[in-house]
Amino acid sequence: MRSLVFIIMILLITAPGFAQPTLEASKKTAFVKEIELNQAVSRPDPEGVPTKVSVGVYVIDISKIHDAEQTFTADFVVVMQWKDRRLGKNEKVRTLYLINVWHPYMQIKNQNNLKKHWGDMVEVDKNGIVTYRQRFSGDLSLPLNLKDFPFDKHTLSIIVASFRYSPEDVAFEVDTNRSGRGETFSIAGWSIDDDGDTRIRPYYFAPQARNISQVFFEYFASRHFGYYFWRAIFPMMIIVFMSWSVFWISPNQMGAQIAVASTTILTLFAFKFSLSEYLPNISYLTRLDLFITAATIMSFLAFTEVILTSNLAVKDETFDLAFKIDRCCRWIFPIAFALITVFCFWIL
């Protein structure tokens, strides 16, 4: 009797351990069957007739543009709608899981670090109109050409694509009624135009060796250059103007001239070092970089002129020549600097 009770207790203790693998295996089998079922769902339209999918994008906010990372941060809602007569029933509106119906497998092509806020659900009305809504927030890639910095303008794109279907299978259409933008954005230092643009253009996806469907929602951003004018351009101009003061110091006062010229150059290099925090880290020169380089060269030329006139002023017979060079430089340097400024910011 004791042996029988002991055997029953052992079976009761070990039974859940034997049952668990079976339970896990059944869940895994059901999950695999669900995936196979969804993969087997065909398009609602026959072969050769593309399924029309309307796409709308509403931008809630654009909060930042990252120059170095070449990304921008946005909060937006994507609304997609298509017709599947097979799902039409007498009920007004049904809510289904996205994975249980055919859908175009939408992705944000230029996503960098996006987060979904809503569940992957669709609404189906009695006519078979399927509506999918999803809210995204995070970073999107943004190829930047900063040659015109700080007067640059850029196109911020949200690219909705279907990596599973070609344009012959899925035809995207822009839903203007569900597209738009918020009244104000929290982004600082930029202006976003009220009017955006949309483009539908196939994209050749090399890994699959075929075209995929995609639609562009574009917004145009212009940088506010006032910040960089007061932070970089105006202080740089003051330093350059300070270097010209040597032209009003008598050439025979070599010590004073060299002290002013050398101090100006040191100040200029220290200021350039402090500017690195505010300027984009890129390998090519921008308009502002060219202006800073030109200002540095102008200050160095002023220092060179000081050395030349100081040596000429040592001798009595060349003192008048040194004085004339200083007087000429009082006009040559400002005119040259004005032309350089116009070239860097308005002509180039």
Q: What is the pLDDT of residues 25-82, one digit of tens each?
A: 444 444 434 443 444 478 899 888 999 999 999 999 999 999 878 999 999 999 999 9
Whole-model pTM: value is 0.77
Mean pLDDT of 123-146: 94
pLDDT digits (tens, 9 = 90+) for 296-322: 999 999 999 988 888 888 887 788 888
Same fold, 51-223 and 226-347: no
Looking at the domain 51-223, which fold is it? Acetylcholine Binding Protein; Chain: A, (2.70.170)
pLDDT value of position 53: 96
Element (H, E) at 29: helix 2-40
Confidence of residue 287 (pLDDT cuts 50, 70, 90): very high
Residues composing the chain? 348
Confidence of residue 23 (pLDDT cuts 50, 70, 90): very low
Pairing of strands 210-223, 153-162: antiparallel
Pairing of strands 129-141, 71-83: antiparallel
Percent of the chain with pLDDT over 70: 89
pLDDT value of position 37: 44
pLDDT digits (tens, 9 = 90+) for 228-278: 899 889 999 999 999 999 899 888 887 888 888 888 888 888 888 888 777
Backbone phi and psi for residue 306, each to the nearest 5 degrees, phi listed first: -65, -45
Using alpha carbons only, what angle is made at residue 328 by residues 325 and 333, rounded to the nearest 5 degrees? 110
Burial of 92 (0-12, 13-18, 19+ CB in 10 A): exposed
Using alpha carbons only, what angle is made at residue 96 by residues 90 and 102, rounded to the nearest 5 degrees? 95
Closest CA relative to residue 257, chosen from 297, 314, 335: 314
pLDDT value of position 3: 52
Confidence of residue 22 (pLDDT cuts 50, 70, 90): very low
Q: Round to whole Å and give the CA distance between 195 and 172.
A: 21
Q: Round to whole Å and give the CA distance between 161 and 200.
A: 10
pLDDT digits (tens, 9 = 90+) for 195-211: 889 999 888 888 878 88
For the chain, the structural domain boundaries read 51-223, 226-347
Residue 335 has pLDDT above 90, yes or no: yes
pLDDT value of position 105: 93
Extract the tokens encoding 129.
């109109």
Q: Round to whole Å and give the CA distance between 210 and 206.
A: 7
Looking at the domain 226-347, which fold is it? Methane Monooxygenase Hydroxylase; Chain G, domain 1 (1.20.58)
Mean pLDDT of 159-164: 93
Burial of 24 (0-12, 13-18, 19+ CB in 10 A): exposed
pLDDT value of position 109: 94
Residue 20 has pLDDT above 70, yes or no: no
Task: Name the amino acid, one letter, at 145.
Answer: N
Residues 256-277 as b or e (16 or more Cβ within 10 Å = b) = ebeebbeebbebbeebbeebee
Closest CA relative to residue 241, chosen from 337, 145, 159: 337
DSSP-based helix, strand, coil % in the chain, nearest 5 = 45, 30, 25
pLDDT value of position 39: 41
Task: Give how far Cα 191 sits from Cα of 71, 156, 184, 186, 278, Å.
Answer: 16, 12, 10, 10, 19
